[in-house]
Structure 1
Amino acid sequence: MNKHLLQKVLLPTSTAGSLPKPSWLAEPETLWSPWKLQGEELISGKQDALRLSLQQQQLAGIDIVSDGEQSRQHFVTTFIEHLSGVDFNQRKTVRIRNRYDASVPTVIGPVSRPKPVFVEDAKFLRGQTTQPIKWALPGPMTMIDTLYDDHYKSREKLAWEFAKILNQEAKELEAAGVDIIQFDEPAFNVFFDEVNDWGIKCLERAIEGLKCETVVHICYGYGIKANTDWKKTLGSEWRQYEAVFPKLQQSNIDIISLECHNSRVPMELLALLRGKKVMVGAIDVASNSIETAEEVAATLRKALQYVDADKLYPCTNCGMAPLSRQVASGKLNALVAGAEIVRNELAAG
């Protein structure tokens, strides 16, 4: 039913990932904020937060809803925490995406997934709504970039192992009623040779056998200092996507999710994805100023020069966890209102 629901809506709106957490669950406007609850209280607190996040999306009129990543501290490490072969006490400092140093856990043996990670959360979300739901998982390349590998001693080998594990999780998420599974791969904007050599193949291994729709989300990151400083070094045109779009266009991934609004990405790069569905980021997550509906519409109109209307999905640039709930709500409202303007223009022909 949900697939058909999706096909009926022109320009279906969604978010790229996280939404702000309520202050009783975790420190607001902070990434990787520790939980304020524990045990059974934490489990029910996460479910309450998920309900609130869903309501926030529904009140705004978002078409494809998500959990807002309310049950996760971090989009990569929360998944890794549930795997065996990784020691979180044995930490090393590594350079993340060639941008900033972070203390990360160590791979000490073969990695495996003893049990499902997000499947119960996904079932809970599915039980709360009849709308199409999207669930995000970290991509294999971004996972290896968030660890120190003391076992495989090969980025590619470890990525393939993670791809197999992600495929197990994705199949169970699909069985739990998830309509769209998104893989977050900000690393695709940095390690271009590896992406083309084996990164996209790894991602295809992660989606093997899935019947639901699949997305790869490639962005320039949250609005945190390390990312905004890096963006300042990228010059007047950000052409990183150019290096990976041609191969992604040829891949089995259904939808490419990218950052457009307030970024310096030349819109004509979207022509390299012709034929693919594209989630166009029309909301800047690195700013507290709330877009107008007209600003959103302007971004979507530009994208429509290169993406067919039935393949364009208006979206946010990235996750909104570091923003206040008020700002995030304003931005969701703007996204929906902007998409509605363009929908009406398309209907008027």
Structure 2
Amino acid sequence: MPIRTTHVGSLPRTQETVDMIFARERGEAYDQAAFDAQMTAASSETVRRQVEAGIDIVSDGETSKISYATYVKDRYTGFSGDSPRNAPADLKLFPNFLKRLAADGGTPKYARPMCTGEVRSKGQDELKTDIANLKAAMAEHGAAEGFMNAASPGVISLFLQNDFYPTRDAYLAALSDAMRDEYRTIVDSGLYLQVDCPDLALSRHMLFADLTDAEFLKIAAGHVEALNAALTGIDPSRVRVHICWGNYEGPHVCDIPMDTVFSTFLSVNASQLLFETSNPRHAHEWQVFRDRASEIPEDKVLVPGVIDSTSNFVEHPEVVAERLGRFVQIVGADRVIASSDCGFGTFAGFGAVDPDIAYAKLATLAEGTKLANARA
């Protein structure tokens, strides 16, 4: 099987879409029918542009979500108030840069309520609407495969912190129970489930900076345990897991190495592994997969980021092909899928990459993948 193309999930939203999402976010009056129509149209256009760029495995771009993690506050009970903000440790080391980011609007602003009550699903209606929009767009534009993102228990606990359950483990267990139906609904629809797990890397320098790496790995193992419990009964071949160190342009000098979290990452019950390998802080870590190839189970598919998601450079196709070739050498072309480092619209209305350039980067991803396939 040749190398296929995909991306991490979120894509830039139009201003009209963003305005509607924030009207709902702020609790303003809005027309539900107009909102639904806008999300349907925007999802269709997002899929069209992916197909046009040459992406094989598409998503809805997370069109209707305020963000990849905090959307759960709208779909589950138990969240209210606001959570404390904590800047990543690397930005604290460079306070002038952090101040500049804040002053320039370089940090997204959105509600992060605390968990103040029992977490329970409000039902799957919004998710089913997202799924229907994506599948209709796929049929309209000729996309054969699609995926939908969902937050992991660990990343929810990172952004929507606990002020109700007696312990973090109890909170994670409750989140695991709550998310189980969401995961199952996505897989049962015929889409791939992508579970977003930046908590396995980002939270090291965001929430647990005072711990040792060994202590953090115990925390991360608990996150994986909660996630795997929620994935019980789901075929791992239908599951993608994404790890990252924070989708922001910054020094990233506090990022925990991939080599340190490698075993934890591979312990998720998911066949497809999405990870960063393009940005300057993690581009060298393809070597971890080479040096530890014997530890990679044969059912795992590597989905490296071969285009960056925080800069407006459009990678040359030869660079994409070169990056893919390294992983082909490790596991073979049939176990490699080309992707982006992270999403291009992690938070609604916020993104470092110009929307048209984001799709140009996806197009060069597809062009570079063709080169890699010709050489595999």
Aligned equivalent of 1:25? 17
Alignment correspondent of 1:243: 260
Amino acid at match of 2:178: I
Letter in 2 for 1:291: E
Letter matched to residue 123 of structure 2: K
Q: Say which SS state the counterpart of residue 118 (structure 2) adopts.
A: strand
Q: Which residue of 1 aligns with 2:197?
A: 185
Q: 2:286 aligns with which of 242, 267, 275?
A: 267
Structure 1 unmatched ranges of 5 or more: 1-8
Q: Secondary structure at the match of 1:242?
A: helix
Structure 2 counterpart of 1:341: 371
Structure with a larger share of its residues in strand: 1
Describe the superposition over 1:106-137 as per-residue Cα deviations: whole angstroms up to 9, x where unpaired: 21221110201412211221133251111111
Match of 1:278 in 2: 302
C-alpha RMSD of the superposition? 2.4
User: Residues 197 and 333 from structure 1, CA distance in 2 versus in 1: closer, same or farther, beyond 3 angstroms?
Assistant: closer
Residue 35 (structure 1) shift: 6.6
User: Does 1:296 pair with 2:296?
Assistant: no
- SS state of the match for residue 24, structure 1? helix
1:326-347 CA deviation, whole Å, 9 max, x = no partner? 101100100000111000111x
TM-score of the two chains, using structure 2 as the length reference: 0.79
Please report how far the alpha carbon of residue 206 of structure 1 lies from its aligned counterpart in structure 2 after TM superposition. 2.1
User: Equivalent residue for 2:132?
Assistant: 123
Please state which structure has a larger fraction of its residues in helix: 2
Letter in 2 for 1:302: R
Q: How many equivalent residue pairs?
A: 324
- Counterparts of 2:308 and 2:155, CA distance in 1: 22
Q: Which residues of 2 match residues 127-276 of structure 1 at below 5 A?
A: 127-130=136-139, 131-178=144-191, 180-189=192-201, 190-191=203-204, 192-211=216-235, 213-223=238-248, 228-231=249-252, 233-234=253-254, 240-265=257-282, 266-271=285-290, 272=292, 274-275=296-297, 276=300
Say whether the 8 Å CA contact 1:107–1:149 is kept in structure 2: yes
Q: Distance between the aligned counterparts of 1:304 and 1:264, measured in 2?
A: 22
Residue 38 of structure 2 corresponds to which residue in structure 1?
45
Cα separation, partners in 2 of 1:63 and 1:195, compared to 1, 3 Å: farther
SS of the residue corresponding to residue 163 of structure 1 reads: helix
On the 8 A contact 2:301/2:335 being kept in 1, the answer is yes
Using the aligned pairs only, state the percent identity.
Answer: 22
Distance 2:223 2:115 in 1: 19
Establish whether residue 77 from structure 1 lines up as the match of residue 99 from structure 2. Answer: no
- Contact 1:34–1:73 under 8 Å retained in 2: no
- Provide closer, same or farther for how the CA distance between residues 288 and 33 of structure 1 changes in structure 2, counting only shifts above 3 A: farther
3-state SS of paired residue (1:44): helix
1:274 partner letter: I
Q: Is the 8 A contact 2:152 2:197 kept in 1?
A: yes
Distance 1:21 1:251, change over 3 A: closer
